[in-house]
Amino acid sequence: MGDLILGIESSCDETAAAVVESGRRVLSSEVHSQIAEHAVYGGVVPEIAGRSHLEKILPVVDAALEAADLDLDDLAAIAVTQRPGLIGSLLVGLSTAKGLAFVRGLPLVGVHHIEAHVYAATMALEEPPWPCIALVVSGGHTSLYVARSPLELEPIANTLDDAAGEAFDKVAWILGLGYPGGPEVARLATEGDPQAVAFPRHRPKDGSIGFSFSGLKTAVLYHVRGGDALAPTPPPEEISDRADVAASFEAAVVDSLVDQTLRAARDHDLERILVAGGVACNSRLREVMTERAAGEGLAAHFPAPEWCTDNAVMIAGIGWELWRTGAVADLSLDASPR
Ligand code: KG4
Ligand code: ZN
């Protein structure tokens, strides 16, 4: 048996715990999603998130240990998301991890949530991919990094405005779909024509690499309002080309993500690409990125879909890398929103 790490994640709206052996073999993974609690508000309400984490954290940790048939004393360390995220939510996971580590005398490891998302894309690889390009696309982030190791991500590009996932969520709202919008827009898009509407693809004017999705979101709004920006947004049943809009919007987001990522790989002369975060669940992104990367002799790697959205497998995974390099925290470890 290798080193067993318990991972705990509570940075946003998922309460999660998992046990992973030596950063690779998943022994258990429990995720309590708060989606139903936030859906009526169309987004995450921080106060509701914090309270829900508090109710679920111990049952979720217990369930993860039980599913792995382990006791706390079998663990090598406890890894927990320390930043970034909602402060009241982070504190629930962090306090729990600290308490457990203290009473059982276990090492405590503080994890950066974004580094953990990237790590998830490497857990099934035969060979280490470093150095490589990493694209993190979620509800809060759309960023490119040169990744030299699991713990060395150098930021090279960002979104100027909305994150890609946020754009999916807003377009879902415009089209009268549920929250979170990504999976709903993707489902409707399968019934539409991605070339029906020529939505804009942002390209930075100075030739640099970067993302922007607010113009695209406005273009969708303008389109469904029949070209009259001041008209009210029509009810969903009156938008006759809803599936075409969903498909054309999704195609525009995917084209931007793939174009900029491949440019980054070329600019930095790197052959491997890791794609992670909730939007990495998107089938069109997975297909187009994989195909176009292969066309340029590059390889793109994604986590399994269930480990693209927030989970604790990725926390336990990168937690093992930190633990074995001696990056152990003490009980003064604090949460940080950034
Ligand atoms: O990584 P994640 O679970 O949470 C954050 O850290 O933000 O990502 C959630 C985001 C949401 O915006 C959701 O709409 C988007 O990922 N998402 C998708 C898909 N599944 C989730 N976007 C596009 N296509 C999907 N299939
Ligand atoms: Zn996340």
Which residue among 258, 281, 311, 315 is best mutated to probe the pocket of ligand 1, counting the most ligand atoms within 8 A of its Cβ? 281
Query: For residue 128, how far is its CA from the centre of ligand 1 (angstroms)?
Result: 26
Which residue range forms the structural domain that includes residue 39? 4-119+308-324
- Look up the CATH number of the domain holding residue 82: 3.30.420.40
Give yes or no: residues 293 and 169 share one domain.
yes
Q: Are 6 and 19 in contact (CB under 8 A)?
A: yes
**What pLDDT score was predicted for residue 252?**
98
- Our answer on whether the CB atom of 85 is closer than 6 Å to any ligand 1 atom is no
Tell whether the model's pLDDT for residue 237 goes beyond 80: yes
**Number of folded domains in the chain?**
2
Ligand nearest to the CA of 281: 1
Q: What is the CA radius of gyration of the chain?
A: 20
Cα 273 to Cα 131: distance, rounded to the nearest angstrom:
9
The token duo for 185 is 């827009």
Mean pLDDT along residues 93-105: 97
Sequence-distant (6+) residues with CB within 8 A of 196 are 241, 244, 245, 247, 248
pLDDT at 207 (0 to 100):
86
Mutate to test the pocket of ligand 1, among 83, 115, 137, 168 (most ligand atoms within 8 A of CB): 168
pLDDT at 29 over 90: yes
Nearest CA to 196 out of 245, 123, 233 is that of 245
281 in contact with ligand 1, CB cutoff 6 A: yes
Q: Is the C-beta atom of 7 inside 6 A of ligand 1? A: no
Tens digits of residue pLDDT in 181-220 = 999 999 999 999 999 999 999 998 888 999 999 999 999 9
Q: Are residues 286 and 219 in the same domain?
A: yes
Given the CA of residue 117, which atom of ligand 1 is nearest to it?
A: 1
DSSP state of 74: G
User: What average pLDDT does the segment 296-301 reach?
Assistant: 98
Whether residues 15 and 35 share a domain: the answer is: yes
- 70, 152: one domain: no
Query: Over 90: is that where the pLDDT of 178 sits?
Result: no
In the predicted structure, residue 104 carries a pLDDT above the cut 90:
yes
Question: Do 113 and 131 reside in the same domain of the chain?
Answer: no
Ligand 1 in reach of 84 Cβ (< 6 A): no
Whether 134 and 60 share a structural domain:
no
pLDDT, residue 227, reads 87
Q: Are residues 17 and 87 in the same domain?
A: yes
Distance CA 57, CA 38 (A): 18
